[in-house]
């Protein structure tokens, strides 16, 4: 069997090594050099060109090398083969730790101490207990749910919002328009875990951000286009939002001239909150392919209906 690999040029050497380790009986073809389109059985892709998957007549299944599938949403046509998303537990754990780090940063007033250090100021500050600090999460998919449960296990009050009802141990789950209003108004820190879809493009705009409790902090680990960056800057400048942690941006790399770089109340990281590791990812995909060949469908199918 033959696998088509296109990780958008990222770490192809590591991906090939991982495929050879966990799927040693499979040949590997690296896009765009495909000598025989009829030989391709499975495609492992990320940011793949629209329409190309239609060229493989014997394609059995497609595995996206990440949980985000906004690039698939932009496809004009989809192949006549099922597509599955990758949810890597190690990536989910990294993202949960990232959010936990920044939650502690603001709950324990470490941002205040950072500023005090610049002034050589020695002054202790009172901080709420974790249970008195409310973290609201938008999006309770596989990643968002893991983040929510990690924060709840650390003692924080966690509110989660999704469009449809969800239930998570230790998390107060709300849904719909009324649920959204409540999780925003009660948040000391808001975490965005929403996927980028036509419905969420620019979702975090002035109407959403102004619904937050005054002084709230915003953390975005989803996709940059979910955030209206101009509205965020306005909220920060007015003082309604006290701080922001941004790991994703509408344009990446973030242009040097962006005002986000120099705003005193913004922390920027270069899209590192969680990354797909070829080693752990291929263990998952190898199991999924083995299951698929036995007629067992993987857990996270891609569909434009959801």
Residue 231 preceded by cis peptide, ω within 30: no
112 and 87 Cβ atoms separated by less than 8 Å: no
Q: Tokens for 182, please give them.
A: 């409540």
26 is catalytic: no
User: Given 26, 175, 263, 271, which residue is catalytic?
Assistant: 271
Residue 44: name the closest of 56, 30, 34 by CA: 30
The first and second tokens of residue 172, run together, are 């107060």
146 catalytically annotated: no
- The residues, ordered by sequence, that sit 6+ positions from 137 with a Cβ below 8 Å of its Cβ are 144, 147, 148, 151, 158, 159, 160, 161, 183, 190, 191, 192, 193
Catalytic: which of 26, 114, 223, 304? 223
CB 41 within 8 A of CB 60: yes
What residues are annotated to the active site?
Answer: 223, 271
């Amino acid at each position: 069997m033959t696998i088509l690999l296109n990780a958008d040029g990222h770490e192809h050497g590591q991906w090939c090594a991982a495929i050879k380790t966990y799927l040693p009986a499979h040949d590997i073809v690296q896009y765009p050099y495909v000598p025989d389109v009829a030989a391709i059985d499975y495609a492992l892709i990320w940011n793949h060109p629209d329409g190309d998957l239609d060229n493989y007549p014997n394609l059995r299944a497609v595995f996206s090398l990440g949980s985000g599938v906004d690039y698939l949403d932009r496809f004009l046509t989809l192949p006549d083969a099922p597509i599955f998303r990758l949810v890597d537990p190690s990536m989910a754990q990294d993202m949960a730790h990232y959010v936990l780090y920044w939650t502690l940063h603001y709950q324990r007033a470490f941002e205040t101490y950072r500023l005090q250090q610049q002034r050589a100021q020695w002054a202790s500050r009172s901080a709420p207990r974790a249970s008195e600090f409310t973290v609201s999460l938008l999006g309770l998919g596989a990643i968002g749910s893991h983040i929510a449960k990690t924060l709840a296990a650390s003692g924080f009050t966690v509110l989660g919002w999704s469009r449809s009802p969800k239930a998570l141990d230790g998390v107060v789950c709300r849904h719909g328009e009324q649920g959204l209003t409540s999780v925003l108004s009660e948040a000391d820190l808001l975490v965005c875990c929403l996927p980028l879809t036509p419905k969420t493009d620019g979702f975090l705009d002035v109407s959403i951000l102004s619904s937050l409790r005054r002084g709230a902090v915003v953390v975005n680990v989803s996709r940059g286009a979910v955030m209206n960056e101009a509205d965020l800057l306005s909220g920060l400048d007015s003082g309604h939002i006290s701080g922001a942690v941004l790991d994703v941006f509408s344009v990446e790399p973030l242009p040097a001239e962006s005002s986000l770089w120099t705003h005193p109340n913004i922390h920027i990281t270069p899209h590192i909150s969680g990354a797909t590791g070829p080693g752990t990812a291929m263990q998952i995909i190898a199991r999924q392919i083995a299951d698929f060949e036995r007629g067992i469908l993987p857990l996270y199918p891609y569909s434009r209906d959801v």
